[in-house]
Structure 1
Amino acid sequence: MRFSLRQLEVFLATARHENVSRAAADLAMSQSAASGALKDLESQFGVQLFDRRGKRLQLSELGAQLRPRAENLLAQARELEQALSGREVAGRLQVGATLTIGNYLAVQMIADFRRRFPAADVSLTVANTERVAEMVAAFELDMGLVEGEFHHPDLETRHWREDELQVFAAPGHPLAGRPALSDDDLLGLDWIVRERGSGTRQTFDRAMHGILPDLSISMELSHTEAIKRAVESGLGVGCLSRISLVEAFARGSLVPLAVPGRDFHRHLNLILHRDKFHSAALSEWLSLCQQSWSDILPGQYGKGEQSG
């Protein structure tokens, strides 16, 4: 064999960081050793894997074509190493999740996974839908759990579960306790909502079709808890996943507002790279995701309030 797994590690780390120094640090090796490994790999086959633009190294057309194969080959080699050591479900699994999922669902799922497979190490990256999708497409994450909708030719989307947004306010809001809000009521409110690019904002904008341009968006915040605190302080009303509001509704610091004329339902999805090798750890994680809906949700919303 004319290349080594270490050379592939350097190639992939350089593709992620677009810099040999950072790739070397990631792999705990010297910069000169990493540069030498990359140079040897290219010279052995007479190819150029990167276009050098100043200090940045961007994948060449050939490098971009080879990256998924190199990712999969290295993943299979690691799985073989784990099998040889008697640890079938082991190694590092890198999961991405959007804010609602990451803050209210994923941590418990990771705890369950670690109890079942103590040799596996799961890391969690929390970001909005666009960023998680970008990282999965770049092989920086093994998979993503997202709230938003998107289209990417390299990514596979699997429906995971149903969810629903809920409009809410502070208990002392003038419209608290109103049986139902009309469009005129919605137009008279000050809204505190998620930022553009988030799945929650996508669903909110879609639900408010026809009146969206005329809504008073007073604040856009990138954190669910910040929106809840702002609404509790009487700065406006919000619209978030019911999953994130269960505890606040239970203690009475926030109250739901009924908006029967608008559809706030949405899908939560799993996303994977189409060329991603499914290691034993990833396969088991996906299996856990599929069963987690029935394990986590019963009773979570309270009587008569379960979403989906």
Structure 2
Amino acid sequence: MHYTLRQLQVFIATAHHENISKAASSLSMSQSAASEALKNLEIQYGIQLFDRIGKRLQLNELGQLLRPKAQAVVEQAQSLEEAFRQHRDIGTLKVGATLTIGNYLAVNIMARFMRENPGAHVDLEVANTTTIASKVLNFELDVGLVEGELNNSELETTIWREDELAVFCAPEHPYASQSTLDDERLKAATWILREPGSGTRQAFDWAMHGLLPEFRILLELQHTEAIKRAVEAQLGIGCLSRVTLEDAFKRGSLVHLSVPHRDFKRKFYFILHKEKYRSAGIIKWLDLCKSV
């Protein structure tokens, strides 16, 4: 074996930062040492991993192919080192969750995970499906919990649990007294929706196929609570996951609107990079999510 773990770490850090100085800083190395490590790695195998564009180092096709394999080797080595030092202590787990999951499900799971695994720490990042998928692909997150369906050959996507969207309005809205809403009422409504790129919006668009060109969309917001407040203020009607609306329905601050002829069922998913090493922490996190 002619490469070193340090060379792989420099390769991975440079791919992430696209700059050798920033890569060196992230590894607590001098710039010259990092440059030498990367140069030696390329010379040893007679390859070039980056296209040099000014001060940027951009992964070329070969670099993109080898990056996940190098990432997996380094993570396995780190896991082995943890096992030697801490007898399989989990350490820090980087989890990404979409807004609905992050704000209404993941926090409780995170708290239970850390209670059941003393010494473990979870970094939770909440963003929309597109952002979480991008960060899993870039190895910035260990695992993602998302609402939207994805089609990417580098990601392993697994069904986690069922979910369902619900259409809703303020108690004072004229639709609040309607037993059901047909397509004409849906088209006549003013809508407050999640932004394109979110899993909730993806599921809504699928459920409303054939009607969307005729919809009046007043606001597209990134935050679930902002949508609920806008609907409570009678700016329009909305559609969000039932998980986010249960308390408001019980309080009577929002009213569920029945749309039985439209399918609002969807699924939540786990996403991981196919080359991501499945550490003990990742496996325990997935098992806990499935159990709750």
Quick check: TM above 0.5? yes
C-alpha separation between the residues in 2 aligned to 1:25 and 1:68?
22
Letter in 2 for 1:283: I
Partner of 2:244: 244
How far off is 1:199 after superposition? 0.8
1:38 to 1:121, Cα distance in 2 relative to 1, 3 A: farther
User: How is 1:37-76 mapped onto 2 (pairs within 5 angstroms)?
Assistant: 37-76=37-76
Secondary structure of the structure 1 residue equivalent to 2:283: helix
Deviations 1:113-148 (A, max 9, x none): 111112222212222112211221222221211100
How far off is 1:242 after superposition? 0.7
Partner of 1:187: 187
Q: Does the CA-based 8 Å contact 1:177-1:257 persist in structure 2? A: no
Q: What runs of 5+ residues in structure 1 fail to find an aligned partner?
A: 293-308
Q: Does the CA-based 8 Å contact 1:137-1:273 persist in structure 2? A: yes
Q: Does the CA-based 8 Å contact 1:169-1:231 persist in structure 2? A: yes
Partner of 2:26: 26
C-alpha separation between the residues in 2 aligned to 1:143 and 1:172?
42
C-alpha separation between the residues in 1 aligned to 2:25 and 2:237?
46
C-alpha separation between the residues in 2 aligned to 1:237 and 1:31?
55
Q: What count of residue pairs does the alignment treat as equivalent?
A: 292
Partner of 2:253: 253
C-alpha separation between the residues in 2 aligned to 1:209 and 1:271?
26
Partner of 1:234: 234
Say what the alpha-carbon RMSD is for the aligned residues: 1.6
C-alpha separation between the residues in 2 aligned to 1:241 and 1:120?
30
Q: Does the CA-based 8 Å contact 2:150-2:157 persist in structure 1? A: no
Partner of 1:162: 162
Secondary structure of the structure 2 residue equivalent to 1:262: coil
**Length-normalised TM-score, structure 2:** 0.95
Percent identity (aligned):
60
How far off is 1:214 after superposition? 0.6
How far off is 1:87 after superposition? 3.0
Q: Does the CA-based 8 Å contact 2:98-2:126 persist in structure 1? A: yes
Letter in 2 for 1:206: W
Return 19-28 or 184-193, whichever deviates more: 19-28
